[in-house]
């Protein structure tokens, strides 16, 4: 564009954008793009994970239950016959070793008869109570059962054909149905003495630390037992994987465009309870959608065109094939269809006003120069007249 001023030509140029200034988008990928705005991304709860090369673990899945450790179960009883005259603990109470739990009034004569205090033999939880106040007792009676649950066993029913891959010392990630937000780690300490011929399983016993007593005997458990590990395997979290078994895909965050994700086919390999091996289709450093990836398949393209997405992302206009528009292309677009303001560069509204200001400034400079030159001429003329 140029602005004509008497005696001058002032050129006002629209900015051009080199295609080398930004990464071009392959138009063939556009059909697989999912574009979200900020509100949509927040509503879907989009979370990302890096594609990594990691030590990939081969795991054996099994189910089982939490059990007490037999050596940590103690029974409280009385050495003398009598009756219960004091009961300081009931089922579910946590007690400490040496704590007073029961008082037994002896049958020996006396006024009053002698009372024998009974103390907790170990620290733990009272799992069962077999007495009531005033109830007669004998030395053979079990009064209270106490279990130390600071450590427990997690017993996995492992299929016999997979038990051979395990050995004492193997680690397992253990999830408890009653505690879905926690994952426990156990170490294999022994196998059961006999197999279950009907189920075709062998017990694998894992020891788990349980300092807060969250685990209780009888809880259902799921095991992911580590059988082996391979280094430098490209993998992504399981929740990132979508599609059917024949057409697996993940949603990859676009490197350049905000809230744009590309539906990318992948070839998968082995999987465990946390990760799936990626044989082809991704590279370390890519970011894939984990939380929210399932819903992206229902969002579709998100509306708009490739041009719209790039214009919004970069703040300057693009062609329909995704390449940046040159100054000539912008000028042609203006002449062809009255180029819409929303597709113009972010600073286009400043170009013409700034050009006009520059033109006015030049005109003022010229006028000032003419006035100064005229003043000098008049002064010289006056001086000449005076000299004459």
Structure token digits, residue 202: 């062998």
The string of pLDDT tens digits covering residues 299-308 is 765 544 556 6
- Given a contact cutoff of 8 angstroms between Cβ atoms, the answer to whether 307 and 320 are in contact is yes
pLDDT at 362 over 90: no
Class of the CATH-defined domain 27-57+232-299: mainly beta
CATH of domain 153-230: 2.40.30.170
For residues 214 and 154, the answer to whether their CB atoms sit within 8 Å is no
CA 161 to chain centre: 35
Q: What is the domain partition of the chain in residue ranges?
A: 1-16+326-388, 27-57+232-299, 70-147, 153-230
State the Cα–Cα distance between residues 262 and 265, nearest whole angstrom: 10
Which residues have a Cβ under 8 Å from the Cβ of 109 and sit 6 or more positions away? none
Q: Are 359 and 351 in contact (CB under 8 A)?
A: no
Strands (E), 88-129: 94-95, 100-106, 115-119, 124-129
Contact 289, 48 (CB under 8 A): yes
In this predicted model, which residue has the larger pLDDT, 328 or 34?
34
- The mean pLDDT value for 17-34 works out to 59
Dihedral of CA atoms 27, 28, 34, 37 in degrees, nearest 10, equals: 0
Q: How far is it, in rounded angstroms, from Cα 42 to Cα 152?
A: 41
Interval 80-123: pLDDT, tens: 999 999 999 999 999 999 999 999 999 888 888 899 999 999 99
Q: Tell me the C-alpha distance between 237 and 88, whole Å.
A: 51
Q: What is the CATH number of domain 70-147?
A: 2.40.50.100
Check: pTM over 0.75? Answer yes or no.
no
**pLDDT by residue (tens digit) across 168-223?**
999 999 999 999 999 999 999 999 999 999 999 999 999 999 999 999 999 999 99
């Amino acid at each position: 564009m140029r602005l004509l001023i008497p005696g001058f030509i002032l050129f006002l140029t629209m900015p051009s954008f080199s295609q080398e200034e930004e990464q071009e988008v392959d138009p063939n990928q556009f059909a697989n793009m999912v574009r979200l705005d900020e509100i949509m991304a927040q509503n879907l709860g989009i979370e990302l994970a890096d594609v990594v090369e990691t030590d990939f673990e081969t795991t054996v899945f099994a189910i089982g239950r939490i059990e007490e450790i037999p050596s940590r179960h103690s029974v409280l009883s009385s050495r003398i016959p009598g009756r219960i005259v004091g009961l300081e603990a009931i089922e579910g109470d946590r007690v400490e070793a040496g704590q007073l739990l029961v008082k037994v009034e002896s049958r020996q004569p006396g006024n009053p008869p002698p009372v024998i205090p009974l103390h907790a033999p170990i620290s733990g939880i009272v799992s069962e109570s077999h007495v009531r106040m005033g109830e007669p007792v004998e030395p053979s009676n079990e009064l209270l059962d106490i279990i130390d649950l600071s450590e427990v066993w997690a017993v996995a029913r492992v299929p016999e054909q997979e038990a051979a891959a395990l050995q004492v010392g193997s680690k397992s990630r253990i999830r408890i149905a009653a505690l879905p937000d926690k994952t426990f780690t156990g170490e294999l300490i022994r196998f059961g003495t006999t197999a279950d011929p009907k189920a075709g399983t062998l017990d694998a016993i894992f020891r788990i630390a349980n300092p807060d007593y969250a685990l209780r005997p009888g809880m259902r458990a799921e095991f992911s037992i580590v059988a082996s590990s391979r280094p430098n395997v490209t993998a992504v979290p399981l929740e990132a994987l979508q599609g059917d078994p024949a057409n697996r895909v993940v949603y990859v965050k676009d490197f350049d465009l905000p809230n744009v994700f590309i539906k990318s086919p992948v070839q998968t390999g082995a999987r465990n309870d946390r990760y799936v091996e990626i044989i082809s289709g991704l590279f370390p450093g890519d970011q894939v959608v984990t939380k929210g990836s399932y819903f992206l398949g229902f969002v579709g393209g998100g509306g708009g065109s490739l041009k719209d997405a790039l214009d919004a992302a970069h703040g300057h206009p693009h062609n329909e094939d995704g390449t940046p528009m040159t100054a000539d292309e912008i000028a042609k677009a203006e002449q062809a269809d009255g180029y819409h303001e929303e597709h113009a560069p972010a600073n286009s509204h400043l170009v013409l006003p700034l050009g006009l200001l520059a033109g006015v400034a030049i005109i003022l400079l010229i006028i000032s120069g003419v006035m100064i030159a005229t003043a000098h001429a008049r002064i010289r003329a006056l001086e000449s007249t005076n000299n004459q």
